[in-house]
Structures are given as structure tokens and as C-alpha cells.
């Protein structure tokens, strides 16, 4: 019984999670690379969630252990891109658009998630992600500029890039960025 409940909950939470990411896309508010409730800094410099109607191009990105199939992407300044992200690896991976500094900050948060058991190498414990950290913040990962995916999962991100910025897409799961799971966004 508890097992059943657990796995059901997990399935429900994972879909809520992906839904959350999609809902996030529609919402006018946006956050930085951090978690819900914090980090509005840098939002304008990295761009904003885009509208599906503005999308002219889809970029598919495959995540493996521990790398992206693309080491850089080239987009026009102001372009809205639909990213289809697929995790083909055996570990949890993230696709997150931000500056190097934002990623560095996010890596510390991800480390904390791992230490608290909310994030394991190959799974996300959604019930723990949604837990109140005591200051109204949760570890829930629902920022529109990122998706965190368990093995085998896919998701979309629609993003409007700014005219000019130094951006990277990165996986901030502990150790992955340092191992090279990061790509450059070349804005033209």
C-alpha cells in the first residue's frame, strides 16, 4: 500500500512539475536560475518566457550522462525559440538558460537539494521539493528558464532571447557543470 501511494504520488507530482514548467511559460512573471520565490535578478538580461505564436524554430537538445549533444547553439538577438529537451541519460539532468554567475548560484542550491535528499542521482523526490523550507520558499523547480528532468523524460521550454547577452545553457546538478555539461548561447 505505501508503495503504491508513493509511486502514484510521484507520478502525479512529476506531471504537476512539468505542468508547472509549462504554466510558468505563460506567466508574465519570471525568475532567474534559482527557485520559486527568489532571484528575480538578471531576468531581463537573460530574456523572458516566449509565446508559442512567436516561435519560428525548434531546437532539440538531448541530455546524456553527463553532456548535451550540442556544445553551443546560435540564435538571433530577440529570437523566440522552442526547445525540446529530452533526457536520454540514466541520471537527472537540467536544461537551464542563464549567465555563468546565475548558474554558479544555482549550483549551490542544487547541492543543498541533494544533501537534503530532494534530489538523487537518478530521481527527483517531488514531495520533498515542494516542502516549505521555513521561509516560504520551496526547492520546487518551476522556473520558466529551466527544466529538471528524470531519466527518460522530455519537456519544452519556449524562450525569447535578449538582443545581447553572455548566456549559457547548463546542468547544475552537482558536478555536472564542472564536468562540461554546459553550452554557449551565441547571440547574433
- Cell numbers linked to 2: 505505501
User: 175: how many CB neighbours lie within 10 A of its CB?
Assistant: 15
**Identified binder of other proteins from the candidate list 2, 28, 117, 136, rule CB under 8 A:** 117
- Cell numbers linked to 157: 521550454
Q: How far is the CB of 118 from other proteins (least distance, A)?
A: 8
Instruction: Decide: is 131 part of the binding site for other proteins (CB under 8 A).
Output: yes
Angle 90-100-120 from CA coordinates, rounded to 5°: 25
Q: Judged by CB under 8 A, how many residues of this single chain contact other proteins?
A: 24
- Cell numbers linked to 165: 547577452
Q: How far is the CB of 64 from other proteins (least distance, A)?
A: 8
Residue 31, SS3? coil
Whichever of 162 and 174 has its CB closer to other proteins, that residue is 174
Computed from CA positions of residues 26, 84, 9, 127, in that sequence, does the dihedral angle turn out positive or negative?
Answer: negative
According to CB under 8 A, which residues from 41 to 100 bind other proteins?
64-67, 90-91
Whichever of 39 and 176 has its CB closer to other proteins, that residue is 176
H-helix or E-strand spanning residue 8: helix 2-26
Instruction: Decide: is 178 part of the binding site for other proteins (CB under 8 A).
Output: yes
Instruction: Decide: is 22 part of the binding site for other proteins (CB under 8 A).
Output: no
Instruction: Decide: is 176 part of the binding site for other proteins (CB under 8 A).
Output: yes
Cell 523526490 found at: 125
**Contact 51/161 with Cβ under 8 angstroms?**
no
Instruction: Decide: is 8 part of the binding site for other proteins (CB under 8 A).
Output: no
Instruction: Summarize as ranges the residues that interact with other proteins (CB under 8 A).
Output: 64-67, 90-91, 115-117, 121, 125, 127-128, 131-134, 174-176, 178-181
Amino acid at each position: 500500500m505505501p508503495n503504491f501511494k508513493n509511486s502514484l504520488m510521484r507520478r502525479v507530482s512529476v506531471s504537476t512539475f512539468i505542468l508547472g514548467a509549462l504554466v510558468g511559460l505563460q506567466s508574465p512573471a519570471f525568475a532567474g536560475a534559482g527557485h520559486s520565490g527568489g532571484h528575480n535578478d538578471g531576468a531581463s538580461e537573460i530574456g523572458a518566457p516566449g509565446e508559442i505564436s512567436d516561435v519560428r524554430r525548434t531546437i532539440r537538445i538531448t541530455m546524456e550522462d553527463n553532456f548535451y549533444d550540442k556544445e553551443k547553439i546560435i540564435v538571433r538577438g530577440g529570437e523566440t525559440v522552442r526547445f525540446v529537451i529530452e533526457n536520454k541519460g540514466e541520471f537527472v539532468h537540467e536544461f537551464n538558460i542563464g549567465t555563468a554567475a546565475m548558474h554558479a548560484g544555482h549550483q549551490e542550491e542544487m547541492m543543498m537539494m541533494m544533501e537534503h535528499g530532494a534530489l538523487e542521482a537518478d530521481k527527483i523526490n517531488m514531495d520533498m521539493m515542494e516542502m516549505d523550507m521555513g521561509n516560504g520558499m520551496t526547492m520546487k523547480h518551476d522556473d520558466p528558464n529551466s527544466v529538471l528532468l528524470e531519466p527518460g523524460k522530455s519537456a519544452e521550454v519556449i524562450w525569447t532571447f535578449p538582443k545581447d547577452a553572455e548566456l549559457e545553457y547548463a546542468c547544475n546538478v552537482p558536478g555536472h557543470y564542472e564536468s562540461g555539461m554546459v553550452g554557449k548561447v551565441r547571440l547574433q
